[in-house]
Structure 1
Amino acid sequence: MTALFDWLHTVFIEQFNFWIVLGFVAQAMFMMRFVIQWIASERVGRSIVPVAFWFFSIAGGSLLLVYAIQRQDPVFIAGQGLGLIIYFRNIWLIFKEKRRDPTI
């Protein structure tokens, strides 16, 4: 049991700095996209993806990418980098569609 407490202390206390705070803020922003999607879906009674979902995806993904670069984690960098391309593409498609049909 002591080994577990030592590990928890090392991971959550000794390493605590600005980058850990940024990582938690980024993760919270990224998580908000699911909260927004859930609330929007509950309101209409079916599954939908509101535009705010993509903005939270971009904000959280960008911060997580910065965090991953600072941590020098190639798996995390690749995952967030690819995700950002997809999020920006979805925003582009939404705005392109709204320009064609302003009633959307």
Structure 2
Amino acid sequence: MTSPSAQTSLSTHVLDAARGKPAADLQVVLSRMNEPVAAAHTDSDGRISWAVALDPGDYLLHFATGAWFASTDREAFYPTVELHVTIGAGHTHVALLLSPFAYTTYRGS
């Protein structure tokens, strides 16, 4: 039998909805039970495929949106976006659509 962590994976995709482009080089920290698991920056397509062993459970994705918007010379209302997600066995994809004064998220495929 395969362990749950071998079957569990997570990816993230962040899009700049105001500009209609990927949110490249946005810092994201993945945590579980208040302990950092991994940190990464989105690639040029706004994506992160978390290359860490994960067990099913509750996680926090912390997006440094304020610093990212500042790096593009734009004002932003949300200095961070934190998404609490529950992932199960298999693959979970978390999408985040950003604009300077709003955001939305959904579980993708």
TM-score by length of 2: 0.25
Q: Which has the higher contact order (CA 8 A, sep 6+)?
A: 2
Greater radius of gyration (CA) = 1
Which is richer in strand? Answer: 2
More helix as a share of residues:
1
